Amino acid sequence: MNILNEPLFQAVFNTPVPRIIFCTNSPDFTIVATNEAFKVSTHITGREITGKSVWEAFDPEEAGGNGGLLLMNALMEAVEHNRRVNIPSFRYDIPSVDMSRLEINWWQIEIIPVSAIGIGRPDYLLLTINNTTGPTLSNQVIEAGLQRERVLNEELAAANEELTTINEELIHSKAELQELNNELEQRVVRRTKDLTESENRFRNLVQQAPVGIAIYSGPQLIIELANDKILEVWGHTAAEVIGKPLLTGRPELNGHTYVQVITQVYTSQQPHSAFEVKGSVIRNGKLQEGYFDVLYQPLNSSCGTANGLIAVINDVTERVEARKSIEKAEEMLRLTVDFAELGTWFINAETREFIPSARLKKIFGYQPDEYMPYEAAINQISDAYQDAVVSAVERAISEGQSYHLEYPVVERHTGKLRWVKATGRLYPSAEGEPAHFSGTLIDITERRQNDQRKNDFISMVSHELKTPLTSLKAYLQVLQARAVPDADSFRISILGKAEVQVNKMHKMINGFLSVAALESGKMQLVKEQFNLDDTVQEMVDDAVISNPRFRFHFLPCEALQVVADQDKLGQVITNLLSNAVKYSPDGGDIIVDCQKVNGTARVSVQDNGIGIKKDDLPNLFERFYRVQSDTMKNFSGFGIGLYLCAEIVERHSGHIWAESEEGKGSTFYFSLPLVED
Ligand code: ADP
């Protein structure tokens, strides 16, 4: 008999506990029977599932939870080991009674293997099923509640801790606030005091300011403050204006544009400034015209609304008048420069920029807008004069002296020769102005042509005079030779004196001829290297013989090698020596010295003669210049000697000058470049 039909088994099976019986045909586990309690608990009738595999009846995929897997493992274990297996509570969802949805369900199952003979592989599996949904869910709810409570407790503890900290901080902050408050109060007191002092200082400052200052307040422009300077410009006293609206304090402004300007500044809140505005001012009790720089600055309240304005007025009358007179002087200078047809030039000592004027450009053959470099001004100078001009310019720069030169320049394009008179001077930097070198240049071609005609005439006359004079000298010499020494002693003496006079005239005529040669550019230099001190010695020796009544002292000197025209320099030295003799009393001392000074050979001739006035010194080297004085009436001459000396020295890139004191004597110097070792 099938064990399932045994009355005892049936009695147990049908107790009100949900039960189900499976075949042990693993893995299908066909459902054999279910009891009534099973139907109540699962809403599934035995008919629906009997004969089906457990997996067909309860698809684990569809039911949700992990019940399927747990059941499979437990069924396998019960069959294989033929032992009772308890499946712990698991979730397996089943449809609701109306089959409309799945309901969450928890189950606890006990599996008991059943066999007919009691040993070996079981024939059936009896599953006793407990629906544990209620307790499980309430356990879960309780657990969740407990969990929430734990979290809340933790949060509460944290919040509590935070509150304690905040509380402590609050206590601390309160103390700090109190301290801050005290400090702030002290500061306010201090600030108020500072502010009062600062306002007083401001008022003092305004009062003492070198410019006129006034402060207006409110739309009526009430004059709050006006310093002495501005009162002076207004021509009012403080009592007349302070605390009064503008037009009450200064009724003379009624209808004046000034009122509109400052009203506009007040309403628009835009500052206004103007420079060199013409106005009147009371000076020394008299109403006079003046110029003012003015600034009107709006003043705002702390919340940004207009509450006044400050007026600053600077009396710039002196500055404007000074500038105007400079402008006038400049204009006059411009007119003079134009009228005199002067070319001007300017060299910035720092940037070396050369700025020639339009007229100067014209002299050199440039168009006014054409670029003319400094080199052009040098390169276009005639070769014979170039070195002399360059060294005069360099000397002017290094020694700060001015130069005055006349030289020919070759006009660009046409190649025409133009004579120019040039001056130049270094102006050291002063008051923000950089150092500069500037000068003038004037076209003297016409004058030179006139001079040339005069020179030609002098030259012609000199030549004409020289011929009969030479004959005269020869006749005198013949007569002298024929005279019998004892019988004709008187004649011999007269003939001697006549020869001296003829020689004098000869010398003068030679002087004129030299000037003429020089001016017509016919003076040629024959340069060679020699010892200048030897030439000086030679000339001194000659002078000693010709002037026995004078005491010559040639101071010892070292060798001075120069490259120059020896004859011409001999003439220069002789000229200086003969002037020293000429302008000194008999028996005077004449000191001659040669020295090396800053890379130049310097020769000087000193006498203790009549001397020269300071005013005459700069002109001594000009052509035909002679000092005008009663004393000079006793000395003959034409003012040619020093001119020739200067020309010769300058053609050697040298320099000549004199120092003298009237009545005490003079010293004439010249210097030449030395040959470099
Ligand atoms: P000159 O002597 O023929 O007049 P110079 O050209 O030699 O011409 O000299 C120019 C002028 O310089 C002289 O007229 C004289 O007034 C002045 N002079 C030159 N040398 C001396 C000197 N040693 N002492 C004083 N005056 C001098």
Residue to probe by mutation, ligand 1, list 626, 628, 661, 666, most atoms within 8 Å of CB: 626
Tell me: the pLDDT tens digits for 266-296? 988 899 999 988 887 777 777 788 899 999 9
Judging by beta carbons within 10 Å of its beta carbon (0-12, 13-18, 19+), is residue 4 exposed, middle or buried?
A: middle
Q: Ligand 1, atom 18: nearest CA belongs to which residue? A: 579
Q: Give the whole-number percent of the chain exceeding pLDDT 70.
A: 97
Residue 103 CA to residue 44 CA, distance in Å, equals 14
Tell me what pLDDT residue 372 has: 92
Residue 638 CA to residue 616 CA, distance in Å, equals 16
Mean pLDDT of the chain, nearest integer: 88
Tell me what pLDDT residue 441 has: 92
Angle between helices 641-651 and 566-582 (to 10 degrees): 150
Q: Cα(516) to centroid of ligand 1, in Å?
A: 20
Tell me: the pLDDT tens digits for 101-120? 878 888 889 999 987 666 67
Q: 253 in helix, strand or coil?
A: helix
Tell me what pLDDT residue 343 has: 92
Tell me what pLDDT residue 322 has: 92
Q: Cα(579) to centroid of ligand 1, in Å?
A: 6
Lowest-confidence pick of 13-17, 144-148, 493-497: 144-148
Mean pLDDT of 574-588: 95
pTM > 0.85: no
Q: Cα(508) to centroid of ligand 1, in Å?
A: 14
C-alpha 490: how far from chain center: 90
The number of beta carbons lying within 10 Å of the beta carbon of residue 67 is: 22
Q: Which of 601, 545, 618 is nearest to 578 (CA)?
A: 545
Give the CA distances from residue 395 to residues 353, 389, 655, in Å, rounded to whole numbers and listed in that order.
Answer: 19, 10, 9
pLDDT-based confidence at 481, cuts 50/70/90?
confident
Q: 499 in helix, strand or coil?
A: helix
Convert 367-430 into a string of H (helix), E (strand) and C (coil). CCCCCCCHHHHHHCECHHHHHHHHHHHHHHHHHCCCEEEEEEEECCCCCCEEEEEEEEEEECCE
**pLDDT surpasses 60 at 455:** yes
Mean pLDDT of 81-86: 90
Q: Cα(620) to centroid of ligand 1, in Å?
A: 7
Phi, psi of 107 (to 5 degrees): -130, 150
pLDDT-based confidence at 616, cuts 50/70/90?
very high
Mean pLDDT of 548-566: 94
Residue to probe by mutation, ligand 1, list 509, 574, 583, most atoms within 8 Å of CB: 583
Tell me what pLDDT residue 395 has: 80
**pLDDT surpasses 70 at 303:** no
**pLDDT surpasses 80 at 410:** yes
CA angle (515 as vertex; 512, 520 as ends), nearest 5: 125
Residue 648 CA to residue 567 CA, distance in Å, equals 11
**pLDDT surpasses 60 at 313:** yes
Residue 598 CA to residue 398 CA, distance in Å, equals 12
Tell me: the pLDDT tens digits for 231-256? 888 888 999 999 999 999 998 888 88
Please, which residues have CB within 8 angstroms of residue 430's CB and are 6 or more apart in sequence? none
